[in-house]
Amino acid sequence: MNINPLLQIKALGQSIWLDYIQRNMLENGEVARMIKEDGLAGITSNPAIFEKAINEHHDYDDAITSLTHRDTPPNEIYETLALEDIARAAELFRPLYDESNGRDGFVSLEVSPHVAYDTQQTINEAERLWAALNRPNVLIKVPATQAGLPAITHLLAAGININVTILFSLERYRQVVDAFLAGMETRVAQHKPVDHITSVASFFLSRIDVLVDKRLDELVQITGDKSVSALRGKAAIACARLAYQYYQQWIRDNRWQSLSSHGARAQRLLWASTGTKDPAYSDIKYVEPLIAKDTINTMPLETLNAYRDHGQPAVRIEQELDESGSLLEKLHQIGIDLEAVGEQLEGEGVQKFSVPFDKLLERIKQW
């Protein structure tokens, strides 16, 4: 009998989460089956995911109709539906959360993309959502914008679980780690417990390759130098491998060891945006090379199904480390600065969530 590759990943120490949520899947037993048979350990959501679930399915029609008859504003209708789904998912994952002593079984809900550049509004919304859900196995998603960084520190110090999202570059990842450590240090200094607080840093991958590949193709057109095409499809994995190296570095540092002695849990890296966007690449491109202990991969349903079908799990994340470093240097030499790429993708990432969020509210308004 063949062993499910997703369960093999679990045995290697990586947690598999689903980057999708839909009410019917929560109610018909599909998520419960995936927890049991695939070792599914969590769910992530975002405004684009909710827009897709609500607009493309009829699971929510009755609830929206009922709420509109009560003259509920569109944004409150969205939030009501989202909170109901997240609460239901958190209940399904609660036994896993308890069994794993808080390592797994998390469900993530994102603050509105419209507050991504406002620290105080981010704090206010995160605190409100956290209080409304009132469950220990929920993560509130906060974008890793410059305005988001102090919000992350504040919220962790307040004892709120945080999923740091829209993260695209190594330098910003270092800043995220610093924000995490500062939040935990504030809490320790206040003599408050830290052993129950969870945070993950969601490093987005496929979008890096989409943008870098586009620029490489443009360079070929401009210069006629086809050799740069050999760099296509390599930037995201290289960034992920180097981010994991930094993770291993900071968890050995005295600053973290001091927090760990108080029972703090390390902020795990989460590989996000792992659905392959270029059909020329493998449909499990952002899963196979990045299996590593104490990391998470949140996959769209299509990617998760593909990996179950033909994944070949092994720990490969520390392969080609020298090549990863030299790749970034090669890209820089031809005018592609991955920190600048990250800045552009951050802005586009906020926009990619704002547009479907507004589209959903407009649809509800016209119900």
Query: What kind and span of H or E run contains 288?
Result: none
Cα gap 322→235, rounded to integer Å = 13
Helices (H), the chain: 5-11, 23-27, 30-37, 47-56, 61-69, 74-99, 119-133, 148-157, 170-189, 206-223, 235-250, 254-260, 301-310, 321-333, 338-365
Q: Is residue 296 within 8 Å of 274, Cβ to Cβ? A: no
Specify the amino acid at residue 131. A
Q: Which two tokens stand for residue 313?
A: 């799990």
Mapped onto helix, strand or coil, the DSSP state of residue 300 is coil
Backbone angles phi, psi at 95, to 5 degrees: -60, -40
Among residues 10, 52, 141, 234, the one annotated as catalytic is 141
Backbone angles phi, psi at 298, to 5 degrees: -100, 120
- Please indicate whether residue 36 is annotated as part of the active site: no
Query: What single DSSP character describes residue 16?
Result: E
Cα gap 218→153, rounded to integer Å = 40
Backbone angles phi, psi at 121, to 5 degrees: -65, -35
Q: Which are the catalytic amino acids?
A: 141
